[in-house]
Amino acid sequence: MPSSLFRFKTFVIEQEEVAMKIGTDGVLLGAWAEIPQSAKNILDIGTGTGLLSLQAAQRTSGAAHIIGIDIDVNAVNTATKNFKNSSWSSNLEALQLDVITSSDILGYGKFDCILCNPPFFDSGPIGPKRERNMARKASYMPWPILFERIASLLRDKGIANLILPFESFERARKLAQDNYLFLKRYCLVKGHKDAPVKRVLMSLSREKSEEIKEEQIIVEMARHQYTKAYYDLVQPFYLKL
């Protein structure tokens, strides 16, 4: 099997032409995200390889129509191939759209669920490859506009799910609230028990929750020795763990 392929239990992802390869963040979000049981329309913002869309298709057993959008044409072409090679090809669609500057996505109506693993690096050098910068740098998907777009695209009973650096948690929560999106549940992610919290998974809705559900997940006990919580969450997807 070529090294550019990443094989999951129910689908295979080709990733040679995309800037950002399969990583723990994406798989965690796709496994943890709250997808309403009745979801018929799902939007994957910044789809890349199409991973989140394919995880959502597996979780909904192909019952939802899923649109993955990306600004990078190579990502869209790659996601399209991965969608066509899956068992849910008729339910998946990849489009080259910039959620920040384009209003075209509004023509698809509102969504029951939105998934987004956005670029979030603010500092560091700008690399020579534009595609990798787009996938990594927050300047290509400014968060104030991103949260505004998510709010405009989400149905009244819909759920939006994101993964972000933990240090940006309160800023993201404030931006969501500014757009009348409220934290429903969140999960703090640590690499191992003695490590600082690295990521936060967030589920947002238009309805204020009386009690916000807080969770925590530790990925590893030791190198390549995964915790039961992590295993239970991602084992429906990984072929080998």
Total structural domains within the chain: 1
Note whether residue 23 is domain-resident: yes
Q: Residue 204: which H helix or E strand, with range?
A: strand 197-205
pLDDT of residue 131: 46
Note whether residue 221 is domain-resident: no
Note whether residue 153 is domain-resident: yes
pLDDT of residue 116: 97
Q: What mean pLDDT value characterizes the chain?
A: 91
pLDDT > 70 in the chain, percent = 90
47 near 81, Cβ under 8 Å? no
Note whether residue 140 is domain-resident: yes
pLDDT of residue 92: 98
Note whether residue 216 is domain-resident: no
Lowest-pLDDT choice from 9-13, 43-47, 113-117, 138-142 = 138-142
pLDDT of residue 135: 41
Task: Report the alpha-carbon distance of residue 13 to residue 153 in Å, rounded.
Answer: 27
Note whether residue 220 is domain-resident: no
pLDDT band at 8 (very low <50, low <70, confident <90, very high): very high
What domain range includes position 52? 5-180
Higher pLDDT, 125 or 224: 224
Residue 58 has pLDDT above 80, yes or no: yes
pLDDT band at 140 (very low <50, low <70, confident <90, very high): low
Task: Report the alpha-carbon distance of residue 88 to residue 12 in Å, rounded.
Answer: 12
For residues 121-132, average pLDDT: 49
Which whole-number Å values give the CA distances from 131 to 44, 71, 180, 230, in the listed order? 18, 9, 32, 31
3-state helix, strand, coil in the chain (%, to 5): 35, 30, 35
Note whether residue 57 is domain-resident: yes
Lowest-pLDDT choice from 9-23, 44-58, 112-126 = 112-126
For residues 24-40, average pLDDT: 97
Q: Residue 45: which H helix or E strand, with range?
A: strand 41-45
Which whole-number Å values give the CA distances from 154 to 76, 182, 199, in the listed order? 22, 12, 24
pLDDT tens for each residue of 60-76: 999 999 999 999 999 99
Residue 106 has pLDDT above 90, yes or no: no
Note whether residue 162 is domain-resident: yes
pLDDT of residue 139: 59
For residues 127-156, average pLDDT: 73
| Other CB atoms within 10 Å distance of the CB of residue 16 | 12
pLDDT band at 88 (very low <50, low <70, confident <90, very high): very high
CATH of residue 95's domain is 3.40.50.150
Strands 41-45 and 111-116 turn out to be: parallel
